[in-house]
Structure 1
Amino acid sequence: IIDDDIQILTMLDTILSAEEYEVTRAESGQEAVKLFKSEPFDLVITDMSMPGMGGLEVLEKIKHFDGNIEVIILTGNATFENAVQAMKEDGAYNYLTKPLDNIEDLLISVKRAIEKRKLRLENRTLIDELQNEVEERKKVEQQLLQSKSNLQSVFDGISEPLIMVDRRMTIKILNKAAKDYTGISRYQDILGQSCYRMLAGKSSPCQDCQLNLAILSKNPVTFERNGLKDPSRFEAVVIYPMQNEVQGEGNAIIRVEDITEQRKIEEQLIRADRLSSLGQLSGGIAHEIRNPLASINLFTDILCDEDKYDRGDHEMELFDEIRENIIRIEQIIKRVLDFAKPPVATSDEIDLNDLTRENVKFWSSKLRKSNIHLNLNLNISLPSVRGDVIGLQQVINNVVLNAIEAMAEGGNMDIRTALGLSSLAANNPAVFLSVSDSGPGIETAHQEDIFNPFFTTKATGTGLGLSISHQIIKRQGGAISFKTNPQKGTTFTIELPAAGFKNEIPAAPLLESGGGKNLGALPPLE
Structure 2
Amino acid sequence: MDKERILVVDDDPDVLFMIVVSLRQKGYIVEEAANGLEAMEKLRTQEPFSVMLTDLMMPGMNGLALLRESHKIDPLLEVVMVTAVGTLETAIAALREDGAFDYILKPFESLNQLAVVVERALAHRRLVIEQQALQARIQSEAEWLRTLIANTGDAILAADASGTITIANPAAVRLLKSDDLQGKSVDEGLPMALSKIVNNWQAVSKHLPAIIETTWADGTILLVNLTPVTGEDHSWQGWVMVLSDITHFRRLDEMRTKMLAESARNMQLPMAQAINDLIELSTLSAQDSRLSSLAYRLTRVFDRIQNWLDSLAAQGQMGSAPQTKVEALDIRKLLEEINHGPSPLKDLQVKINLNIEPDVRRARGDENLLRQTLIELIQRAEQRSPAGSPIDLHAYLKANQVWIEVKDAGPAVSLEDIPHLFEQSFVGSQPNETGFGLAMVKTTLDQMGGQVWVSGQEPLGSVISICLPLP
Please indicate, yes or no, whether the TM-score normalized by the shorter chain is above 0.5: no
TM-score between both structures, scaled by the size of structure 1: 0.39
**In terms of Rg, which structure is larger?**
1
**TM-score, scaled to structure 2:** 0.43
